[in-house]
Structure formats: structure tokens, C-alpha cells
Structure 1
Amino acid sequence: MISSSTIKHLRLPFSLFLMPVFLFALALTPNLNEARLLWVFLALHLFLYPSSNGYNSYFDKDEESIGGLKNPPKVTKDLYWISLLFFAIAIGLGGLINWSFASMLFCYGLISMAYSHPSIRIKKYPWLSWFIAGLFQGYFTFAMAYAGLSDLGWDIFTKTHVMIPGVLTSLMLWGNYPLTQVYQHREDGRRGDRTLSLLLGIKGTFAFSAFLFALTGAAFVWYFLDRNQTSIMWIYVSAMAPIILFFFLWFSFVRTNPEKYANYNWAMGMNSISALVLNAFFIYYFLENTQILQVFGY
């Protein structure tokens, strides 16, 4: 019997925040196949990400707010086993495509486990955890999704047409990742986890993220212009406007009272608006880039 605590700690809705990476890969995949699309989506968003969430929650045993849970319940032993079961199911679904894709899922899972497992606990190393989280949730996941959607192998990681957009997704995550830690300073400090946000301080975290957001925006503009997709570039810039507006509004409040406004509600607001806008943009980019709408006369 799965406890209600375990269901909450799997944080299934949290997968929406990572969905833009999948949608970006989908938009650029040349070999679309309905079955592979379904297996990759389910493997990542219904099983691999929840497995990672649950496994890390089990070892973190958070008492204060975490991503997707304002008041996390106490973890139970079944969370550990369910997270491993979900991990196994994700790999099994990957095997329906090819074993290279399954091994990529396995590799991602191991890195994710190392993030919070006490024997390694990457989380306690500020720059290393920031780099690895952004690399694997961004570039690695993009290339992995691209490989699964196209029935390809590990060699795809070295292809320029995959590396460049993959690095762009990592840039997005490297900018946002410290903001997900900004309200957890007290608990991270108590546990001995020297996160990047804790190292930079609250105001330093926002300044660092602002720089990376600007770099990410410039990189995406260059990417679309390089592909002669000027109209897509302008739609991207327009889509980013509400995210940037929310960020600077939040930053303005934080500068007046860091302790009051660097909180869970504002952070989840930032994540929610980013997920909503980016998912919508990449769905549009998928439809436009693959010319699916034209097939139906639109």
C-alpha cells in the first residue's frame, strides 16, 4: 500500500517544470513516431522524474518547504522502494525503444541518486551540484529525449545539431537553479549542505540568475537567427517578457526585505509562470517547426 506521504513526495506535477526540455527536443526531432513519443514522455515525466523526486526526498527528509511541496509530510520507508520501482519502470519503458536510451535513463537516475545520497551527496558542493544539475536536467536530458524520440544511440551526444540546443537548455536551468534554493537557506545550512544560493547569498543569487537569464536570452536569439527563424525569435522574446517581468518584480521586493520575500510562494510563482510560458512556446515551436499545422490546413 502506497502512503499518501509517498504520493506527495513523488511530486508528479513538478514534472511540468522540466517539460520544456522534452518539448524542445520534440520540436527538433526529424524522425517523429507516435509510439516512441509516448514511451519517452512516460519514461521521463511519469516515472524517471518522480523517482528522482522521491528518492532525494527520502534521504533529505525535509521539514521545510521544497519544490512542489510547501509543507512536506514525513517520509516513510515505502517512498524508497516506490522510487526504485519507478526507476525500474522508466528503464523498462526505455528498453521498448532501444537499450541505448534505457542506459541513458539509468545513467540519469544514478546521477540523481548521488545528488542526495549521504555517501556521495553532490548537493553539499555548491558549484559542482549547480553544474551537474543543470547539465543533466538540461543538455543530457535534451540529448536523451532526442535519442529516444529518434531511436538513436549515445553518439548523438557529440552531434552539433544536438549539442547546441542541449547547451541552451542547460543555460536555462543554470540560471533558474539557484532560485530554487533561495528559500531553503535555513534548512540547507542546518543540514550542512553548502548550496550555491547559500554561498552567493540571497541578493547574490538574484544577481547571478539575472546575468545567466540575459546570457540565455541572447543565446536563444542567436540560435533562432542562425536558423533563419526571425519570426520565431520575436515570439520567443515576447514569451520571455512575463517571466522577466515577474523576476525583476520579485527581485525588487527581495532587495527591500530579503528575509520576507525570498520565500517558497514567490519561488513557485517564478517556476509556475516559467513552466507555463516555456511549455506554451515550445509546443508552438514544435507545431511550427514540424509544419504539422500546415498538414491540417492551418
Structure 2
Amino acid sequence: MKSVINIIKHLRIPFSFFLLPVFLFALGISPNLVEDRIILVFVILHFLIYPASNAYNSYFDKDEGSIGLLKTPPPVTIGLYYTSLALDFIGIALAWLISMEFAVLVFVYGLASKAYSHPGIRLKKYPWLGWLVAGFFQGVFTFYMAYVGINDFSYQIAFSWKVIFPGLLTSLFLWGSYPMTQVYQHKEDSKRGDRTLSLVLGIKGTFLFTLVAFLLATLGFEYYFITFYSQKIAIAFLLFMLPTIVFFFVWFYLVNRNKTKANYGWTMGLNFLSAICLNAFFIYFFIQSSHLYQLDL
């Protein structure tokens, strides 16, 4: 029973909340909405594929220090490895019910997530390559994957600038935030021989890198919303993100005075606040984009 509980903990299902904004953004620009399909895509990604990735990476990382949403990770067993594969299989099988295209994208995402921690590849050892791949697949690739699944579109129909551009903005945002998720793990990563981007940049460098990336991402989102939607949406984005910006600068100030503040608690605080603000905004964006009437109620 205890091993089952440990496996469930390592799935880190609540962690999917941090990745939910990408799905909601793809939903907000989708023209072809069907309620059952939206729910199925949501469940496949957030309750099967993402937890499978968490479990797989936890099995090979064997973390002893804090990781995302697990302050004290329980020991891993071979059961965790097989659970991750089972969840992947179920997710791909359900994705096939929507379309072959969506199932293939889900399969490719699973392979990419496994490459991050698998000892034979372990992208985590390569600071810039690991950062680039993680941001690409959790950003623009997931955005495109969700868009294909939600709308039941083929690759060709979905592959347009109006889809790829906002998807790239999500990657830019993730490329900025990703090193921040590693800022408290320097000791753990060094012990395993992993050279994460945050470790290379250092604590202060990680904050400055994230600050520049967030600024560029914000400018990109403002351009996108003003160009394709309205100034009202662009202003709303800034207002929704204001609490995260304030938190970030307060934390940066404290870290400059005491580097021990670059810890698990503050990192999770930023992650939670950022996810809450982004999810709230993209729900607002979905409502404002006037697609609700297309749902089959």
C-alpha cells in the first residue's frame, strides 16, 4: 500500500496546473470546439501524459532533495517506471480516438520528455540543449498538439502562423521561467553531475536571465493581443500578471541580500502565483474571444 502511495506522489498530478496555461491558450484561439473532445484532450494531457513524464523522470533522477511539489520525495521503485509507461500507453490510445495526428504528437511528446532524464541521453546534463528542448516541447509543441486535438485538425491545417506564433510565445515564456524552477536545486544537480542552465548562470544570473526573457515574452504577448485581438485584452494580460511581477522583484531583492532565499519555498510560491495568474487570464481570454457559443451544449 505504501509503495502505491509513493507512486501516486511521484505522479505529481497537481503539477499539471503549472502547464495548464498552454492548453487554455490553445483553447482560446480554437475555432472548432466540441465539449467532449475538449474534456478528452484535457484529461489525456493533464492526468495521463504529464504525470507519466513526471513518474518516468523521477524514476531515473532518484531525487533525495525537494522537487516540484514534493518537498521530501519518497523512494522510487520499478513500479513507478512501469506506471509511467502504462499511463503513456493509455494516453496514446485515448488520443487515437480523436485522430491519428493527435496520437502521434502525444507519442513524440512522451519521447522528448523521457530524453530529459533517461541515462542514455539525459538532456539534463546539457544546460543549453536541455533548456531549449524542454521549452520547445512544453511550449510551442504542446500548444500545437493541444490545438490539433481540440479542433481535430490535420497537421497541415493546424500548421499556420496564427497557431505557431502564439505557440512560440508560450515557449519564450517557458524558456524564461525554466531556469527559475532549477534555482534551488544546484546542490542536488551538482551531486548527480547534471549541469542545468540555472547552475551555469548562477543564482543572480538566473534571475537576470528570467527578467530579460519575461520582458521579451511580455512584449511579444502585447504585440500579439493588440494585433489579433484588442487593446483591452493586452491591458488585461498586464493586469493579471502584475502580482507575479511584484512577487518576482520582492524575491530578487531578498535573494540579493541573502542567497539562501533562493529555496524551494520561494520557487514554488512563484510557480503557483504565476500559474494562478496565467490560468485566470487565459480563462478570461477564452471567454472574451467569443468562442463559447460554439460549444455543443
For residues 154 and 27 of structure 2, what CA distance do their matches in structure 1 show? 16
1:171-223: per-residue Cα shift (whole Å, max 9, x none)? 11011000000000001001000000000000000000000011111111111
Deviation at 1:287, TM superposition (A): 1.0
Q: Which amino acid aligns with 2:274?
A: S
Q: The residue matched to 2:98 in structure 1 has which SS?
A: coil
8 Å Cα contact 2:147-2:158 kept in structure 1: no
Most deviating of 219-228 and 13-22: 219-228
**Partner residue, 2:241:** 240
**Partner residue, 2:193:** 192
8 Å Cα contact 2:33-2:294 kept in structure 1: no
**Partner residue, 1:168:** 169
1:224-266: per-residue Cα shift (whole Å, max 9, x none)? 11114111111111011101000011100111111x1010000
Aligned residue pairs, count: 294
Relative to 1, partners in 2 of residues 1:61 and 1:270: Cα closer, same or farther, differing over 3 Å? same
**Structure 1, unpaired ranges of 5+:** none
Deviation at 1:77, TM superposition (A): 1.3
8 Å Cα contact 2:48-2:88 kept in structure 1: yes
**Partner residue, 1:267:** 267
Q: Is residue 90 of structure 1 aligned with residue 109 of structure 2?
A: no
Deviation at 1:290, TM superposition (A): 2.5
For residues 231 and 265 of structure 1, what CA distance do their matches in structure 2 show? 34
**Structure 2, unpaired ranges of 5+:** none
For residues 157 and 74 of structure 1, what CA distance do their matches in structure 2 show? 42
Relative to 1, partners in 2 of residues 1:156 and 1:61: Cα closer, same or farther, differing over 3 Å? farther
Higher relative CO (CA 8 A, sep ≥ 6), structure 1 or 2?
2
Q: Which amino acid aligns with 1:275?
A: A
For residues 271 and 154 of structure 2, what CA distance do their matches in structure 1 show? 32
For residues 108 and 229 of structure 2, what CA distance do their matches in structure 1 show? 35
For residues 198 and 294 of structure 1, what CA distance do their matches in structure 2 show? 47
Q: The residue matched to 1:116 in structure 2 has which SS?
A: coil
Q: Which amino acid aligns with 1:6?
A: I
What does residue range 146-165 of structure 1 map to in structure 2 within 5 Å? Answer: 146-156=147-157, 158-165=159-166
**Partner residue, 2:31:** 30
8 Å Cα contact 2:93-2:103 kept in structure 1: yes
Deviation at 1:20, TM superposition (A): 0.2
8 Å Cα contact 1:39-1:96 kept in structure 2: no
Over aligned residue pairs, what C-alpha RMSD do you find?
1.4
What does residue range 108-187 of structure 1 map to in structure 2 within 5 Å? Answer: 108-156=109-157, 158-187=159-188
8 Å Cα contact 2:183-2:198 kept in structure 1: yes
Q: Which amino acid aligns with 2:8?
A: I
Relative to 1, partners in 2 of residues 1:246 and 1:96: Cα closer, same or farther, differing over 3 Å? same
Q: The residue matched to 1:47 in structure 2 has which SS?
A: helix
Q: Which amino acid aligns with 1:62?
A: D
For residues 267 and 79 of structure 1, what CA distance do their matches in structure 2 show? 26
Relative to 1, partners in 2 of residues 1:177 and 1:99: Cα closer, same or farther, differing over 3 Å? same
8 Å Cα contact 1:9-1:72 kept in structure 2: yes
For residues 100 and 160 of structure 2, what CA distance do their matches in structure 1 show? 19
Deviation at 1:38, TM superposition (A): 1.2
Deviation at 1:292, TM superposition (A): 2.8
Identity %: 55
Q: Is residue 283 of structure 1 aligned with residue 283 of structure 2?
A: yes
**Partner residue, 1:80:** 81
Structure 1 runs of 4+ with >3 Å offset: none
For residues 174 and 241 of structure 2, what CA distance do their matches in structure 1 show? 15
For residues 287 and 4 of structure 2, what CA distance do their matches in structure 1 show? 40
Relative to 1, partners in 2 of residues 1:71 and 1:160: Cα closer, same or farther, differing over 3 Å? same
Relative to 1, partners in 2 of residues 1:263 and 1:41: Cα closer, same or farther, differing over 3 Å? same
For residues 19 and 90 of structure 2, what CA distance do their matches in structure 1 show? 19
**Partner residue, 2:108:** 107
For residues 82 and 290 of structure 1, what CA distance do their matches in structure 2 show? 40
